[in-house]
Structure 1
């Protein structure tokens, strides 16, 4: 994608707002709501409130940091600015996995939507029994993924125009649909008709917060149940040895100094996976840790890790690992208007 400074500045405020709204309103408005209701029943409403609290805190944090450091690729680079290149590499790795999987996920969701059309070919896109994509459905999803990739490759402005049109459609369909459903009949007895407000217990509400697309925050990772916590750890932690390999290839000798500010995230993910595996059966664990005690341990570990991360960031800056500040030192915006080069993995 053409992400030159001139191209980025060519995006209007309306296009940027549509990109933000379009990234929020996705397939989850139906799939997330439906899955959360299946997991938690009517108590899924509480899951959405809990999710809103988590997302609100995350959004305010990103808004504060984003305003202070309005740099491209911020989500992947804030870790490097706070704790040095190794943590930046790990967080960038995690962001890359999330972004790389987003387009295929949305393509699959769009194909599942298409299976509800009355056309014969559309009905064959999803298997009625397994609810998985058929061979023809995989072909359609792959084609949609390729088209979305092309829109990104050709021009960021073309992507912005397509996104603006799709975002308007996202408003034009869900809002009248929700209004029509409420107007046709709002039956409050449905909140307690099938086993009560929380038929699957309140642990199901916490699970719905993470596994149903309501929110996926680090502090709520434990609620997503084992083996999901282990999968997240297995996808993220390989970035650490890869970073060590890259640093070694660059001739860096003091790997301990480079990795010191990043050990807290390695400990957090590994310990959280272990607690999830040994935790209560309500969250998919083996039941070694009784219910309640596992949540207390997770909360205590999160608090300890938080203070560890803060101290590690301070020490990283004292050691000069983050390198030049792109805002305070002006390294991000050279006087000639060109884009500053990306920082190397190591700063020595």
Structure 2
């Protein structure tokens, strides 16, 4: 282990044409099997197991349509992000792309918004996992379990990145295995051929016979749609992890190309099985969770405990991935002079200060849930309510701008292409705007929209101020500084400003003589 910090990482130098790696002090310890399983298991998040019950209770059987609509939106976003990340792999992912396409203030806003979102999510997932443990060990304090989980995953992420990859590999394998078994059991039950079960096939009764396919009308569908949109959050992590993999371009391309069937099977397929087998208005769907309710309905022994283990794994996996994603995003921002220098210190190929700070921030959120649950903690929850949509908007706008530039300067880097560009990109942006409108209509989500908007505005103003006051000279030790800083070929909205350590990519700005 290195005893002295490495210089802040040079973010996103061009992928080498031979070994396809990103030039950065961060290591390339993630193997292709790690990245493949992270991509596969990343779509099976805690939101699917924990949050889908409320959506089913609101939308009824039409929750399948809600997940299909939001899933289509997410597919488009992932395709756009995959196009940019395959062309220029970066541990800062969409933050780097936003900086290249729009300007430093955009990269600052998208990056720190996502960092904040991940850190708060770490705390929420820790609380959820601790509640399961307290259910098994009633006399144990909840906060102690959260602290234990934080220590474990902080330690995992402080070590070599391959340790994170191994944890996520096995977490993802267990999640994929569990959801596959669930879908298999469900399919057999729907066909009425489940071994050892006397439960007849429900046919279409639960889909149409309990108030119809839209039992609560369009309003119920809207609530279910909003719940489903935020259940998909976290898919972006695979593009962050790709920058530390053996072959980042191939990894991103493969992950994005398989996103469609993964979302269709795991999310939409699960919802279809659940609402076909279990009455949507069964209270157990919310109280026990839709997966437990389904297995109990089928008479599967110890269903509750089995699914609790799966949910616990999903929550721990999300904690691990979010600590990783937050630390890499913070490190990337610092490398572009958009955060405190201390956060960018890299020891042994790992941004350990960023890992520690991100973990501590998450644990502070947990403590606030006990100390100030009705004000500060609630504010934090409201602030992250719509941040994922803000990130998606930056992704879409960045792709609109960078695609034209890449086609002009380096068309060979378009390994992954957005479908029917630019039509579907504009369709995705319209869909995001529609979700914002729907959030403004619903009382429960309106406050989240306001608080998230306020945080985004604050970050945008801070980023713009930083952009206008910082010097254009590159940091000592960066690629630009070493080569003799010179103006970027395409410096964004501020004419002639050099983006520090800007990736050599579709605009060729960082290529040396």
- Taking structure 2 as the reference length, the TM-score comes to 0.45
Cα pair 1:15 1:161 within 8 Å, conserved: yes
The alpha carbon displacement at 1:78 in A equals 1.2
The alpha carbon displacement at 1:158 in A equals 0.5
Q: Give the corresponding residue for 2:97.
A: 78
Deviations, residues 104-158 of structure 1 (Å, cap 9, x unaligned): 233233334446x6x352xx78xxxxxxxxxx23432343233222211222110
How many angstroms apart in 1 are the aligned matches of 2:438 and 2:115? 23
Q: What's the secondary structure of 2:27's corresponding residue?
A: helix
Q: Give the corresponding residue for 1:240.
A: 460
Written as runs of structure 1 = structure 2, the 5 A alignment for 1:273-292 is none
213, 223, 227: which one aligns with 1:207: 223
Q: Give the corresponding residue for 2:503.
A: 326
- Taking structure 1 as the reference length, the TM-score comes to 0.64
Q: Give the corresponding residue for 2:173.
A: 168
Deviations, residues 46-99 of structure 1 (Å, cap 9, x unaligned): 101101110111011011111111122112211110011111111112111222
Deviations, residues 293-346 of structure 1 (Å, cap 9, x unaligned): xxxxxxxxxxxxxxxxxxxxx9935834574752247677989xxxxxxxxxxx
Unaligned runs of 5+ in 2: 10-22, 191-200, 233-387, 390-431, 473-489
How many angstroms apart in 2 are the aligned matches of 1:29 and 1:95? 20
Cα pair 1:51 1:214 within 8 Å, conserved: no
Aligned length: 260
Cα pair 2:95 2:106 within 8 Å, conserved: no
Cα pair 1:48 1:209 within 8 Å, conserved: yes
Q: 1:332 to 1:93 in 2, by over 3 A?
A: same
How many angstroms apart in 1 are the aligned matches of 2:129 and 2:98? 33
Q: What's the secondary structure of 1:194's corresponding residue?
A: coil
Cα pair 1:85 1:322 within 8 Å, conserved: no
Q: Give the corresponding residue for 1:36.
A: 55
Written as runs of structure 1 = structure 2, the 5 A alignment for 1:224-263 is 224=439, 225=442, 226-247=446-467, 250=470
The alpha carbon displacement at 1:230 in A equals 1.0
Cα pair 2:29 2:161 within 8 Å, conserved: no
How many angstroms apart in 2 are the aligned matches of 1:152 and 1:69? 24
182, 193, 208: which one aligns with 2:209: 193
Indicate the RMSD between aligned Cα atoms, in angstroms: 3.3
The answer to whether the aligner puts 1:94 opposite 2:113 as a matched pair is: yes
Deviations, residues 186-227 of structure 1 (Å, cap 9, x unaligned): 422111333221122223323322234344644323323312
Cα pair 2:29 2:160 within 8 Å, conserved: no
The answer to whether the aligner puts 1:154 opposite 2:159 as a matched pair is: yes
Q: 1:39 to 1:149 in 2, by over 3 A?
A: farther
Q: 1:315 to 1:5 in 2, by over 3 A?
A: closer
